[in-house]
Amino acid sequence: MVHTNLARTSQRWNLCQEVTRIAVNCALICAGAVPAVAVTGPPPRVRSTDATILELFREGAERSATFRGLIDAIADSAGIVYVEFGYCAFGHVNGCLLPFIASTHGDRYLRILVTPDKNRRSHDQLLALIAHELQHALEVIADVEVVDVATMEAMYRRIGTPLRGMTGYETAAARVAGDTVLSELLAKHLTP
């Protein structure tokens, strides 16, 4: 799900707070204040500050060719995607690409939230949800015209389907990515 709503002032305020928080986090990471895992090459373009999510990236790439392909596609792009635990649409959906883009030095930064509530989905469903949201991030990264919230919303009006009863959009490509990853993960469980 891609969550958008430009009409509410409170959401704009929340967006400003989010921008500030991400900028501070990026500054802390760049300054080395946040413990980092030893990196032998360039920093990954799919990132998290949560060790559990970092492990999910590793597991997803190991168990699913589609998941690995999404990570690789972002690695070859001019986008940097942060995935964190959190709640979207006041907890009404399990994950979302936030309506926020920051650009610096030619890179566009995006943020994905996935619910930490383990009662709402299985482990494999969480991996598929992350893949679904990574596909949304790739949709944004692939469109060089998307540089802010307004252009992101315009793109999703073109390529997506509005969600009923809430603001945001869904795309067939994201559904397919999530479903494919889940099928690959379940198939690995069934084979000896």
User: What DSSP assignment string belongs to 56-83?
Assistant: HHHHHHHH-HHHHHHHHHHHTTTEEEEE
State whether the Cα torsion 90-91-94-95 is positive or negative: positive
Distance CA 69, CA 61 (A): 8
Distance CA 53, CA 130 (A): 9
Which residues, in sequence order, are CB contacts of 101 under 8 Å at separation 6+? 108, 109, 110, 140, 146, 147, 148, 149, 152
Read off φ and ψ for residue 122, nearest 5 degrees. -80, 175
Over residues 14-26, mean pLDDT: 47
User: Does the predicted TM-score (pTM) go above 0.85?
Assistant: no
Nearest to 15 by CA among 153, 169, 144: 153
Residue 19: predicted pLDDT: 46
Burial 3-20 (b: 16+ CB within 10 A, else e): bbbeeeeebeeebeebee
Residue 83: predicted pLDDT: 97
Residue 39: predicted pLDDT: 45
Distance CA 69, CA 4 (A): 27
pLDDT digits (tens, 9 = 90+) for 52-78: 999 999 999 999 999 999 999 999 999
Calculate the alpha carbon distances from 144 to 8, 56, 77, 112, 152 in Å: 27, 28, 11, 19, 10
What 8-state DSSP symbol labels residue 36?
-
- Chain centroid offset of residue 171 CA: 14
pLDDT digits (tens, 9 = 90+) for 156-189: 999 999 988 888 899 999 999 999 999 999 997 6
Over residues 109-133, mean pLDDT: 94
Question: For the chain, how long is the longest CA-to-CA vector?
Answer: 54
